[in-house]
Amino acid sequence: MTTSRERTRRTTAPSEKLTLAEILEIFAGGRLPMEFRAYDGSSAGPPDAAFGLELKTPRGLTYLATGRGDLGLARAYIAGDLDVHGVHPGDPYELLKALADDLVFTMPPPPVMVQVIRSIGLEHLRPIAPPPQEAPPRWRRVAEGMRHSKSRDAEAIHHHYDVSNTFYEWVLGPSMTYTCACYPRLDASLDEAQENKYRLVFEKLRLKPGDRLLDVGCGWGGMVRYAARRGIRATGVTLSTEQASWAQRAIAAEGLDDLAEVRYGDYRDIPEAGFDAVSSIGLLEHIGVRNYPSYFRFLQSRLRPGGLLLNHCITRPDNRSEPSARGFIDRYVFPDGELTGSGRIIRAAQDVGLEVLHEENLRPHYAITLRDWCANLVAHWDEAVAEVGLPTAKVWGLYMAGSRLAFESNGIQLHQVLAVRPDWKGSTGDLPLRPWWTP
């Protein structure tokens, strides 16, 4: 194997073709935290490293060379052209952490970049069709329908949530809850933490037997059933047909039909009003920042005066960043998803007349939740691959492990915002002077 110094010397001879390993070392400044092997027979990095990457095909090189940011890496990996070593595909967290901590790419000077391009070959700089699991680019989605219209939102939800209820049962566990849990202790189980999250939402909303709850974006009906077990008349709505059918069966199995209902449809089509409380757990990410005013205005219109609203969603750590997702997340996980800071969410709620009472950040809890979801995927890996196929299973392992890392590093957060609808006099009823729930 040639040394880094020898490789550097070779870049001064423009007529020589660089190997793929040499090209990677140029971009990494000769500091690779893991072993890299390529189909051209070249290798780089410490051969005894705990983790490794193997570029297996020319198609994989094309994906890497033409995909911006993390998109090329994701395409090559999901298509099977790039293998990872030292981690399970259901939980590649440790490899992603090593890449984030130790790998810094820099652009080489123009003469070296020219040599790199010549070595790669122009044929690998022409984009090719991505893996079939990838959603169309944003420009094509815009051409096919207005962003966040009812039809386009339904398609985006279908892309992510109608994978397979059986697959979700393996990943999420018995609670079938696909939102951040709230861990009462570091050693609490995932199911215990999800139950505790529902308890926290229930208490914040001051629900009591006979009250009416509307849960928008209700998923598989976890909050609806939790409330119904405690005598609440709960209505949930979801844009996922798979979720709605699963939830209705679960409601029937528990004998909660007289109190609970989950409907398939858009939350904007809910005709009833006068609810004592509204919960929105993991929906705002799909709404679009420009639609926050109409979103909060609609939810306010469903509440009685003095009714409470709990909004639980992923946020950015600031209020300045571009809300639209890019790269892997937008194309493989949440098409049209948008995140912003908790300040913009609070402002939007206040601007329609809601009074914000409390907000808190559960960021560390989501990192642990994702850790436990990845553990479930690893434990059921063979069944998951048989159910949804290897590429989709790899998407989920990559997405959840990467999201865990993002929560740990404060790249994203999770905020709960509690608000009340005042009456025409500005009164909020008999709310206690201090928070009334158990943390």
Q: What are the boundaries of each domain within the chain?
A: 4-125, 151-420
Q: Which tokens go with 371?
A: 């850790």
For 326-350, the pLDDT digits (tens) are 889 999 998 888 999 999 999 999 9
The structure tokens 């609609």 sit at 298
Residue 147 has phi, psi (to 5 degrees) of -65, 130
Q: Which CATH class is domain 151-420?
A: alpha beta
Do 315 and 413 meet the contact criterion of CB atoms below 8 Å apart? yes
Cα–Cα dist 409/411, whole Å: 5
For 292-316, the pLDDT digits (tens) are 999 999 999 999 999 999 999 999 9
Do 45 and 32 meet the contact criterion of CB atoms below 8 Å apart? yes
pTM over 0.85: yes
Reported as half-sphere exposure (CB side, CA atoms, 13 A), residue 385 has a value of 11
Q: Where are the beta strands (DSSP E) in 273-390?
A: 275-281, 303-315, 355-361
Residues of the chain under the 50 pLDDT cut: 1-9, 12, 154, 157-160
Q: Could you tell me which of 219, 215, 217 has the C-alpha nearest to residue 201?
A: 215
Cα–Cα dist 229/314, whole Å: 27
**For the chain, how long is the longest CA-to-CA vector?**
80
The β-bridge relationship of strands 43-44 and 35-38 is antiparallel
